[in-house]
Structure 1
Protein backbone atom coordinates (compact mmCIF):
# COMPACT_ATOMS: atom_id res chain seq x y z
CA UNK A 1 0.00 0.00 0.00
CA UNK A 2 1.52 3.29 -1.07
CA UNK A 3 0.24 6.66 0.02
CA UNK A 4 1.42 9.90 -1.36
CA UNK A 5 2.56 12.40 1.22
CA UNK A 6 1.15 15.78 0.16
CA UNK A 7 2.20 17.76 3.21
CA UNK A 8 4.44 20.76 2.60
CA UNK A 9 8.17 20.20 2.87
CA UNK A 10 8.72 23.49 4.70
CA UNK A 11 6.63 26.32 6.01
CA UNK A 12 7.57 29.83 5.08
CA UNK A 13 5.78 31.89 7.72
CA UNK A 14 6.16 35.04 5.63
CA UNK A 15 4.16 33.52 2.76
CA UNK A 16 1.28 32.13 4.83
CA UNK A 17 -1.74 34.44 4.77
CA UNK A 18 -4.07 34.00 7.71
CA UNK A 19 -7.70 35.05 7.46
CA UNK A 20 -8.74 37.95 9.68
CA UNK A 21 -10.16 35.52 12.23
CA UNK A 22 -6.77 33.85 12.49
CA UNK A 23 -5.03 37.21 12.88
CA UNK A 24 -7.37 38.12 15.77
CA UNK A 25 -6.77 34.75 17.39
CA UNK A 26 -3.00 35.18 17.09
CA UNK A 27 -3.21 38.77 18.37
CA UNK A 28 -5.24 37.53 21.36
CA UNK A 29 -2.43 35.16 22.32
CA UNK A 30 0.27 37.78 21.78
CA UNK A 31 -1.62 40.41 23.77
CA UNK A 32 -2.12 37.95 26.61
CA UNK A 33 1.61 37.23 26.67
CA UNK A 34 2.41 40.96 26.64
CA UNK A 35 0.05 41.53 29.57
CA UNK A 36 1.54 38.69 31.60
CA UNK A 37 5.10 39.82 30.92
CA UNK A 38 4.32 43.44 31.78
CA UNK A 39 2.51 42.65 35.02
CA UNK A 40 5.62 42.50 37.27
CA UNK A 41 6.85 45.86 35.96
CA UNK A 42 3.46 47.50 36.42
CA UNK A 43 3.13 46.13 39.96
CA UNK A 44 6.66 47.29 40.82
CA UNK A 45 6.03 50.80 39.52
CA UNK A 46 2.71 50.97 41.33
CA UNK A 47 4.27 49.83 44.60
CA UNK A 48 7.13 52.31 44.18
CA UNK A 49 4.69 55.15 43.55
CA UNK A 50 2.79 54.32 46.74
CA UNK A 51 5.90 53.94 48.90
CA UNK A 52 6.77 57.62 49.29
CA UNK A 53 6.61 60.99 47.64
CA UNK A 54 10.11 60.46 46.23
CA UNK A 55 9.01 57.11 44.82
CA UNK A 56 6.05 58.78 43.14
CA UNK A 57 8.34 61.41 41.63
CA UNK A 58 10.71 58.69 40.40
CA UNK A 59 7.86 56.79 38.72
CA UNK A 60 6.67 60.04 37.13
CA UNK A 61 10.15 60.60 35.71
CA UNK A 62 10.33 57.03 34.42
CA UNK A 63 6.94 57.32 32.72
CA UNK A 64 7.97 60.55 30.95
CA UNK A 65 10.75 58.76 29.06
CA UNK A 66 9.99 58.34 25.35
CA UNK A 67 10.59 54.61 25.02
CA UNK A 68 8.64 53.91 28.22
CA UNK A 69 5.71 55.80 26.74
CA UNK A 70 5.90 53.61 23.64
CA UNK A 71 6.02 50.49 25.78
CA UNK A 72 3.05 51.72 27.80
CA UNK A 73 1.12 52.22 24.56
CA UNK A 74 1.98 48.64 23.61
CA UNK A 75 0.66 47.43 26.96
CA UNK A 76 -2.50 49.50 26.55
CA UNK A 77 -3.02 48.07 23.05
CA UNK A 78 -2.56 44.59 24.51
CA UNK A 79 -5.09 45.31 27.24
CA UNK A 80 -7.82 46.57 24.93
CA UNK A 81 -7.12 44.08 22.16
CA UNK A 82 -7.22 41.22 24.65
CA UNK A 83 -10.42 42.58 26.19
CA UNK A 84 -12.28 42.98 22.90
CA UNK A 85 -11.13 39.68 21.43
CA UNK A 86 -11.89 37.94 24.72
CA UNK A 87 -15.47 39.19 24.57
CA UNK A 88 -15.61 38.03 20.95
CA UNK A 89 -14.41 34.55 21.92
CA UNK A 90 -16.91 34.38 24.78
CA UNK A 91 -19.70 35.19 22.33
CA UNK A 92 -18.39 32.53 19.96
CA UNK A 93 -18.43 30.04 22.84
CA UNK A 94 -22.12 30.87 23.27
CA UNK A 95 -22.66 30.14 19.54
CA UNK A 96 -23.23 33.82 18.78
CA UNK A 97 -21.62 34.91 15.53
CA UNK A 98 -20.52 31.46 14.39
CA UNK A 99 -21.39 31.94 10.73
CA UNK A 100 -18.47 32.86 8.53
CA UNK A 101 -19.68 36.36 7.66
CA UNK A 102 -20.47 37.20 11.29
CA UNK A 103 -17.14 35.79 12.48
CA UNK A 104 -15.25 37.88 9.94
CA UNK A 105 -17.24 40.99 10.82
CA UNK A 106 -16.63 40.54 14.54
CA UNK A 107 -12.91 40.01 13.90
CA UNK A 108 -12.71 43.24 11.93
CA UNK A 109 -14.69 44.97 14.66
CA UNK A 110 -12.19 43.81 17.30
CA UNK A 111 -9.26 45.14 15.25
CA UNK A 112 -11.04 48.45 14.60
CA UNK A 113 -12.08 48.95 18.23
CA UNK A 114 -8.57 48.26 19.53
CA UNK A 115 -7.13 50.73 17.02
CA UNK A 116 -9.75 53.38 17.78
CA UNK A 117 -9.21 53.15 21.54
CA UNK A 118 -5.47 53.39 21.04
CA UNK A 119 -5.89 56.45 18.79
CA UNK A 120 -8.23 58.03 21.34
CA UNK A 121 -5.66 57.44 24.08
CA UNK A 122 -2.95 58.94 21.90
CA UNK A 123 -5.09 61.98 21.23
CA UNK A 124 -5.70 62.36 24.96
CA UNK A 125 -1.99 62.08 25.70
CA UNK A 126 -0.97 64.51 22.97
CA UNK A 127 -3.55 67.15 23.87
Structure 2
Protein backbone atom coordinates (compact mmCIF):
# COMPACT_ATOMS: atom_id res chain seq x y z
CA UNK A 1 0.00 0.00 0.00
CA UNK A 2 1.89 3.04 -1.27
CA UNK A 3 1.30 6.43 0.22
CA UNK A 4 0.92 8.89 -2.66
CA UNK A 5 0.78 11.92 -0.38
CA UNK A 6 4.37 11.44 0.74
CA UNK A 7 5.58 11.37 -2.87
CA UNK A 8 4.16 14.81 -3.62
CA UNK A 9 5.50 16.48 -0.49
CA UNK A 10 8.45 18.84 -0.97
CA UNK A 11 11.85 17.74 0.26
CA UNK A 12 12.45 21.11 1.94
CA UNK A 13 10.17 23.96 2.86
CA UNK A 14 10.70 27.39 1.37
CA UNK A 15 9.68 29.47 4.38
CA UNK A 16 9.60 32.74 2.46
CA UNK A 17 7.00 31.33 0.03
CA UNK A 18 4.58 30.16 2.73
CA UNK A 19 1.68 32.55 3.30
CA UNK A 20 0.19 32.24 6.75
CA UNK A 21 -3.40 33.26 7.39
CA UNK A 22 -4.06 36.05 9.90
CA UNK A 23 -4.83 33.63 12.77
CA UNK A 24 -1.47 31.96 12.17
CA UNK A 25 0.33 35.29 12.26
CA UNK A 26 -1.44 36.22 15.51
CA UNK A 27 -0.46 32.86 17.00
CA UNK A 28 3.21 33.27 16.06
CA UNK A 29 3.24 36.87 17.35
CA UNK A 30 1.70 35.61 20.61
CA UNK A 31 4.62 33.23 21.05
CA UNK A 32 7.22 35.80 20.01
CA UNK A 33 5.78 38.44 22.33
CA UNK A 34 5.75 35.97 25.23
CA UNK A 35 9.36 35.01 24.60
CA UNK A 36 10.37 38.68 24.32
CA UNK A 37 8.64 39.56 27.57
CA UNK A 38 10.30 36.62 29.30
CA UNK A 39 13.76 37.51 28.01
CA UNK A 40 13.38 41.19 28.97
CA UNK A 41 12.03 40.39 32.43
CA UNK A 42 15.40 41.04 34.18
CA UNK A 43 15.58 44.48 32.55
CA UNK A 44 12.01 45.30 33.55
CA UNK A 45 12.59 44.13 37.12
CA UNK A 46 15.78 46.20 37.35
CA UNK A 47 13.95 49.27 36.06
CA UNK A 48 11.15 48.69 38.54
CA UNK A 49 13.58 48.29 41.45
CA UNK A 50 15.51 51.38 40.37
CA UNK A 51 12.34 53.44 40.22
CA UNK A 52 11.37 52.50 43.78
CA UNK A 53 14.71 52.23 45.56
CA UNK A 54 16.21 55.53 46.61
CA UNK A 55 16.49 59.02 45.12
CA UNK A 56 19.87 58.06 43.60
CA UNK A 57 18.53 54.93 41.92
CA UNK A 58 15.52 56.92 40.71
CA UNK A 59 17.90 59.36 39.05
CA UNK A 60 19.58 56.38 37.36
CA UNK A 61 16.16 55.12 36.30
CA UNK A 62 15.23 58.53 34.89
CA UNK A 63 18.49 58.76 32.95
CA UNK A 64 18.11 55.27 31.48
CA UNK A 65 14.43 55.64 30.57
CA UNK A 66 15.05 59.08 29.09
CA UNK A 67 17.24 57.66 26.32
CA UNK A 68 15.35 57.42 22.99
CA UNK A 69 16.51 53.85 22.25
CA UNK A 70 15.32 52.67 25.66
CA UNK A 71 12.00 54.42 25.06
CA UNK A 72 11.70 52.58 21.75
CA UNK A 73 12.53 49.27 23.46
CA UNK A 74 9.94 49.94 26.16
CA UNK A 75 7.38 50.84 23.49
CA UNK A 76 8.07 47.49 21.83
CA UNK A 77 7.70 45.72 25.17
CA UNK A 78 4.43 47.55 25.76
CA UNK A 79 3.16 46.29 22.40
CA UNK A 80 4.37 42.79 23.27
CA UNK A 81 2.47 42.87 26.56
CA UNK A 82 -0.71 44.25 25.02
CA UNK A 83 -0.62 41.81 22.10
CA UNK A 84 0.12 38.87 24.39
CA UNK A 85 -2.76 39.89 26.66
CA UNK A 86 -5.30 40.37 23.85
CA UNK A 87 -4.25 37.20 22.03
CA UNK A 88 -4.37 35.29 25.31
CA UNK A 89 -7.99 36.33 25.81
CA UNK A 90 -8.72 35.20 22.23
CA UNK A 91 -7.10 31.83 22.87
CA UNK A 92 -9.05 31.41 26.11
CA UNK A 93 -12.26 32.01 24.19
CA UNK A 94 -11.16 29.51 21.55
CA UNK A 95 -10.49 26.98 24.31
CA UNK A 96 -14.08 27.49 25.46
CA UNK A 97 -15.22 26.73 21.88
CA UNK A 98 -16.22 30.33 21.15
CA UNK A 99 -15.41 31.63 17.67
CA UNK A 100 -14.05 28.43 16.16
CA UNK A 101 -15.68 29.03 12.78
CA UNK A 102 -13.32 30.29 10.10
CA UNK A 103 -14.95 33.71 9.68
CA UNK A 104 -15.14 34.32 13.44
CA UNK A 105 -11.53 33.19 13.93
CA UNK A 106 -10.34 35.59 11.26
CA UNK A 107 -12.36 38.47 12.70
CA UNK A 108 -11.07 37.84 16.21
CA UNK A 109 -7.47 37.69 15.03
CA UNK A 110 -7.84 40.97 13.15
CA UNK A 111 -9.45 42.44 16.27
CA UNK A 112 -6.45 41.34 18.36
CA UNK A 113 -4.06 43.09 15.97
CA UNK A 114 -6.14 46.26 15.77
CA UNK A 115 -6.78 46.51 19.52
CA UNK A 116 -3.18 45.81 20.53
CA UNK A 117 -1.75 48.30 18.03
CA UNK A 118 -4.34 50.95 18.90
CA UNK A 119 -3.70 50.62 22.62
CA UNK A 120 0.05 50.74 22.00
CA UNK A 121 -0.27 53.97 20.04
CA UNK A 122 -2.58 55.56 22.63
CA UNK A 123 -0.43 54.58 25.61
CA UNK A 124 2.80 55.28 23.73
CA UNK A 125 1.76 58.84 22.92
CA UNK A 126 0.73 59.43 26.56
CA UNK A 127 3.95 57.99 27.96
CA UNK A 128 6.48 59.30 25.43
TM-score, L = length of structure 2: 0.92
Gapped runs of 5+ residues in structure 1? none
Give runs of aligned pairs for residues 38-57 of structure 1, distance below 5 A.
38-57=40-59
Extract unaligned runs of 5+ from structure 2.
none
Query: 4+ residue stretches of structure 1 with deviation over 3 A?
Result: 1-4
Matches within 5 A, 1:7-26: 7-26=9-28
TM-score (normalizing by structure 1): 0.93
Q: How far apart, in 2, do the equivalents of 1:125 and 1:87 lie?
A: 25
Counting only pairs closer than 5 Å after superposition, residues 20-39 of structure 1 correspond to structure 2 as: 20-39=22-41
Q: Which of these residues, 102, 105, 111, is aligned with residue 103 of structure 1?
A: 105
Distance 2:2 2:127 in 1: 65
Report Cα offsets for 1:34-92 as digits up to 9, x if no partner.
11011111111211222210100110110010110110011000000000000000000
